[in-house]
Structure 1
Amino acid sequence: MTVTIKVLHHPEEWKEAFPVMKQLRTHLNEEEFLTMVEKAASLEGYKIAALYTENEVVAVTGFMPMITLYNGEFIWVCDLVTDVQHRSHGYGKVLLSFVENWAKENGYGIVSLSSGLQRLDAHRFYEEKMAYDKVSYVFLKRM
């Protein structure tokens, strides 16, 4: 089986990734997704990468460079999802490793992300398979 990863640059490509991304970002419809990706890409340097098997998108990640006083310059993984029918095949590990390599190649020494409190399987994946450290909680207040 051929596995390829491609950074997606255009709305037509983003549409290919939407059905998988929708599994993580269930509140978005395709139009909202495309609008937000366009805005985040142009204003924040947000990128979407998709992992394909046999020309089918089976995993997607969204990531972007950030600067904070805590981390300095780093890559923030905004989204990481594998299609429900393709989980437990190592695609998430391959895709997150792609982001880590992209970060290194572009001069970033840190990759960071947050994960919902209820996503215990994801937490085990990040800590046990990807060697990420749990260093904080993320707090949110809706206004």
Structure 2
Amino acid sequence: MIKIKELKGELEWKEAFPVMKQLRTHLDEINYLQLVQEAKEKNQYTMVALYEKEQIAAVTGFMPMVTLYNGRFIWVCDLITDANSRAKGYGAKLLSYVEEWSKKHGYDIVSLSSGLQRVDAHRFYEEKMKYNKGSYVFLKKL
């Protein structure tokens, strides 16, 4: 049985960490929990998990943003399916959940970035989910 649920506190965020760690390999659990808490408090970050047989199989995190480019929109910060649960449509289910959540809350754009090396993810976003490649994201570590 599949269920999708918003994760509301530290215990649930901890439960999602093993899956999130597959995407955010640089984070340890302590830093992860601190960042989730800060993002929730400062940026209305929302984390949602897809459960398969009471186990988290996929996780997404998203937040509202406002820019002059997009106006008011939802930014998908994280989207990962556990390596053992891929090719079952779980990423599509979670991204569709984010899209429906966005519409319900008055946002008509969902945006995200994806690492250049993630060719399979790009194909998923463009071909399956019908996202357009609108720009490159640049980053400079200071």
Q: TM-score, normalised by structure 1?
A: 0.99
Which residue in the other structure is 1:24 paired with?
Answer: 23
Structure 1 regions of 5+ residues with no counterpart? none
Show the counterpart of 2:116.
117
Letter in 1 for 2:139: L
Match of 2:41 in 1: 42
Shift of 1:101: 0.3
CA deviations 1:88-120 (Å, max 9, x no partner) are: 000000000000000000000000000000000
Whole-angstrom CA distance in 2 between matches of 1:136 and 1:60: 25
Paired residue total: 142
Partner of 2:93: 94
Letter in 1 for 2:81: T
Provide, for residues 23-44 of structure 1, a one-character-per-residue CA deviation record: whole Å limited to 9, x for no partner.
Answer: 0000001111000000000000
Structure 2 runs not aligned, ≥5 long:
none
- Verify: 1:64 aligned to 2:63, yes or no: yes
The Cα offsets for residues 56-83 of structure 1, whole Å up to 9 and x where unpaired, read as: 0000001000000000000000000000
State the 1:86 CA deviation. Answer: 0.4
Residue matched to 2:11: 12
Distance 1:30 1:57 in 2: 16
Q: Distance in 1 between matches of 2:32 and 2:63?
A: 16
Aligned equivalent of 1:128: 127
Aligned to 1:54: 53
Two-structure CA RMSD over aligned residues (Å): 0.4
The TM-score, its normalising length taken from structure 2, stands at 0.99
Counterpart of 1:101, as a letter, is E
Rounded to whole Å, the distance in 2 between the matches of 1:30 and 1:79 is 16
Mapped to 2, the partners of 1:62 and 1:4 lie a distance apart of: 16
Q: What secondary structure sits across from 1:107 in the alignment?
A: coil
